[in-house]
Structure 1
Amino acid sequence: MQLFHLEYFLAVAEALSFTRGAHRVNIVQSAVSAGIKQLERELGAELFVRQGRSIRLTPAGEVLLPRARVVLADVQAARDAVDAANGTVRGTVVLGTLAHVGSIDVLRILQEVRRDYPDVIVKLRQTVQGTRTSLEDLRSGALDLALVSVPEQAAPGFELYPMHVEGIDFVCSARHRLSGRKRVALSELVDEPFIDFPEGWGNRATVDNSFSSAALNRTVSTEVVSFSMALELVRQDLGVVFLPRSALGIGAGMGTWSIKTPLSWRIQLARSAARQPTAAEQALILKFRQTTQPVFP
């Protein structure tokens, strides 16, 4: 069994595509397919069920997946140790990010990583599916690090580094009955049609938890994945919304009215606590912590 066979297998298993898997390892698809067939012959079991253009893992593939990650992580740790002895940090980090990250200057951080660690490659993946999916990808190993929005101070199985915190405002149209108010109670909002974000988004979880803690129910009539779309729907009197303060942008005062609330939106840099971070991951974590100061605006 060759290490590159496991690398091919892992790439295809995470992408659930031979084409995308080959792209991840920068190898032609025919070579990846041949390598996986060789691995299947050596193991005496098929690893993928091939159904036309779609594939899925077989039970044997499901069993192999976490073990392949462990083997490759151990190999990377050995490489890190040798590189450290030579004063070098190298490797690839797959970093997940949210659609909106508040005051976190991801671009500046990536520029500093490239400047200070030229042998570190950061693959940036933006999610529109929210924090829950990013945490699942961290747990599975599809992501190495991720910017997430966890309402709580801790998440079982993950190491969280606080990056940003800001207020969440209630936003209604300038023609709404609550327009002009400085304060609003959750109990006054139970009959409102809410615009919100899909379940699994951190800001959605914060608002849901607040209503649940107050033993109140609300109706989410529209789900979006864009803060600007949410604001536009509010302007058109199609609902109300809770938004992180920084997401209001130029929308404040342009057909909408925002009311400050005690709710907070938090962003953390997360990694799985099930394994030790590589030297490249540690370098990226350090840059995030040096560059970002989690203050309440």
Structure 2
Amino acid sequence: METRLLEYFVAVAQEGGFTRAAERCHAAQSTVSAGIRALESDLGVVLFERDTRRVAQTPTGAAVLPLARELLDQLGRLRDVASDDGVLRGTLRVGTLTNVVAGMRLSSVLGRFQAQHPGVDLQLSPSPTGSAGLARDLADGRIDLAFLGGAPMPLADLEAEPLARSIFVAILPLGHPLGEQDIVPLAELVRLPFIDSPEGFGNRTALDSAIAARGLARRTTIEIADVAQMPLFVAAGLGVAVMPRSLVPSDVVGVDLHPLDTLIEWELLVATRRRPSAAARALRTAVAAEFASD
């Protein structure tokens, strides 16, 4: 059985179609389709139900998928051991949080890593679905390493190293009445319209959990994936925001930052699957060392 056929199968299952799977595998759609037919013939089973509108896994396909992912992971580790000459090779897919790590020297870390390990094909892409989407992509094998943010918590089936923590602060327009208090009460803040990240983003999840734990509720009127843009909307008088202090741009104008009466923490982590490739493990170690030295 060709490894490439298993890669096609996992890609189609995870992407939900042949077109996106072909793009992910850098192959023609006809090649992926032919590969799936060959794999089904080899196994003597039907892995996908196909019609003109959708592609869906059969029960057999769903049962085979985790085994195929594990086999591909083990083949990757086999290659690491077989080529244990100190040279890292292979593709390393990195998922990032939108606008979170941009100012945290990630480019410098990746640049040094690439210079030290030119045999690694380094691929970097942001996630439009936040930490929840990144964690799913990592667990499903779509990416090999991810930067995750949110409330400190264990991550099942993943290995994560904490990089930094930050305290949430209230972001208010200049001259807002609540800003006259030394510490802004969360119970009063939630009465105002909120500007926040979409659901699934780690900072949104941490704040939602803290508000629910206080028995409070709020109304989010504007959702912005680019966290750094949130203070601009506050400055325009469109609402208030609560976000990690470290994510507030240093050059923001038109807003005041105030401590909250409730301690809410946000944590940035770098994560891989529990048995990562040698390249993923090396990059995770390099990133952790960079933040530890800061």
Normalised by the length of structure 1, the TM-score is: 0.89
Distance 1:141 1:54 in 2: 22
In structure 2, the partner of 1:88 is 87
Amino acid at match of 1:269: V
Encode CA deviations 1:24-51: one digit per residue, 9 max, x unaligned: 3333332222111111122233222333
In structure 1, the partner of 2:277 is 278
Q: Tell me how large the CA RMSD over aligned residues is.
A: 2.2
Segment of structure 1 superposing worse, 58-67 or 229-238: 229-238
| Residue correspondence of structure 1 range 19-30 to structure 2 within 5 A | 19-30=19-30
SS in 2 for 1:215: coil
| Residue correspondence of structure 1 range 138-153 to structure 2 within 5 A | 138-153=138-153
The answer to whether residue 112 in structure 2 is matched with residue 106 in structure 1 is no
Distance 1:112 1:54 in 2: 43
The answer to whether the 8 A contact 1:211-1:217 is kept is yes
The answer to whether the 8 A contact 2:228-2:249 is kept is no
The answer to whether the 8 A contact 1:194-1:222 is kept is yes
When the two structures are aligned, how many residues end up with a matched partner?
Answer: 291
Identity of aligned residues (%): 33
Amino acid at match of 1:8: Y
In structure 1, the partner of 2:31 is 31
In structure 2, the partner of 1:40 is 40
The answer to whether the 8 A contact 1:138-1:271 is kept is yes
Distance 1:88 1:227 in 2: 38
Distance 1:294 1:63 in 2: 45
Encode CA deviations 1:207-265: one digit per residue, 9 max, x unaligned: 1222222222222233221234422321232211012223332564x222211334332
In structure 2, the partner of 1:201 is 201
In structure 2, the partner of 1:125 is 125
In structure 2, the partner of 1:12 is 12
The answer to whether the 8 A contact 1:180-1:257 is kept is no
| Residue correspondence of structure 1 range 150-165 to structure 2 within 5 A | 150-165=150-165
Distance 2:33 2:156 in 1: 37
SS in 2 for 1:179: helix
SS in 2 for 1:205: helix
In structure 1, the partner of 2:247 is 247
Distance 1:293 1:235 in 2: 34
The answer to whether residue 49 in structure 2 is matched with residue 49 in structure 1 is yes
Amino acid at match of 1:265: W
Unaligned runs of 5+ in 1: none
Distance 1:290 1:89 in 2: 19
Encode CA deviations 1:2-30: one digit per residue, 9 max, x unaligned: 22211221222222332332233333332
Distance 1:56 1:290 in 2: 43
The answer to whether the 8 A contact 1:96-1:127 is kept is yes
Amino acid at match of 2:92: V
Encode CA deviations 1:159-184: one digit per residue, 9 max, x unaligned: 22011222322011114222344321
Normalised by the length of structure 2, the TM-score is: 0.90
Q: How far apart are residue 115 of structure 1 and its match?
A: 0.7
In structure 2, the partner of 1:97 is 96
